[in-house]
Chain A
Amino acid sequence: EAQVTQNPRYLITVTGKKLTVTCSQNMNHEYMSWYRQDPGLGLRQIYYSMNVEVTDKGDVPEGYKVSRKEKRNFPLILESPSPNQTSLYFCASRPRAADTGELFFGEGSRLTVL
């Protein structure tokens, strides 16, 4: 089954404790992206990757890091989480960056930073 898989789905952590949210897709997509969703603000792009070893900032990259060492994986790293990073996070992919088609989303990861 074609899918985007995120882990963990739910996480409660404390300020400053490094964490990684993993994202994996099995569709051989070149383009992957991370979003955060907050009430009233919609989905905002954090980082995106056009292919292996090619990443760039979205609209809200502060406090986050990413890496793309393999085509299928695009982990989101919070080096020193803060309470304002409490949010619902979504990973998404599409075949190629230049496509004009849909994004395929994961199920989401709900992060709470105390």
Chain B
Amino acid sequence: EDQVTQSPEALRLQEGESSSLNCSYTVSGLRGLFWYRQDPGKGPEFLFTLYSAGEEKEKERLKATLTKKESFLHITAPKPEDSATYLCAVQAIGNFNKFYFGSGTKLNVKP
């Protein structure tokens, strides 16, 4: 069964304190892994797509990496405006109509 597990559920950081969020996945052939950011009261907003193990994508203070079983979202020197819930999702080969989402990591960056 295709599934996605994210950890930790919540993470509190001081401004400037780097850390990583984890997304473990089980899928019958990965077509793509996606990271989204969700602010309170808003819909998820796309950040990255990763397609194959070893791939990395960067955007400002965020860097996403992918292995055959998990993905990490590294946050370098975070700022309070990085506070949000980060969602991971996968799309399987042969079933591209469906996206399987994790339950997210709620990040709180204190000034």
Q: Is the CB of B101 within 8 A of A100?
A: no
Contact of A97 among B32, B49, B89, B96 (CB under 8 A): B96
A103 neighbours in B (Cβ, 8 Å):
34, 44, 46, 99
Q: Is the CB of A98 within 8 A of B41?
A: no
Q: How far is the CA of A107 from the CA of B44 in the complex (A)?
A: 8
Q: Which A residues from 85 to 106 make CB contacts under 8 A with B?
A: 90, 92, 97-98, 100-106
Asked if A56 is an interface residue, CB under 8 A from chain B, the answer is yes
A92 neighbours in B (Cβ, 8 Å):
43
Stretch of A13-21, A43-51, A62-70, A71-79 contacting B (4+ beta carbons < 8 Å)? A43-51
The number of chain A residues touching the other chain, given as a range, is 20 to 34
Min distance, Cβ B3 to any Cβ of chain A, angstroms: 10
Asked if A111 is an interface residue, CB under 8 A from chain B, the answer is no
User: Which 5 A-B pairs give the minimum distances between C-beta atoms?
Assistant: A105-B43, A102-B46, A42-B103, A43-B101, A42-B101
**Which residues on A are within 8 Å of B, measured CB to CB?**
4, 31, 33, 35, 40-45, 48, 50, 56, 58-59, 90, 92, 97-98, 100-108
- Given contacts A45-B98, A100-B91, A102-B34, 12 further A-B pairs with CB under 8 A are A31-B97, A40-B103, A42-B4, A42-B103, A43-B101, A56-B97, A90-B44, A92-B43, A100-B31, A103-B99, A107-B42, A108-B43
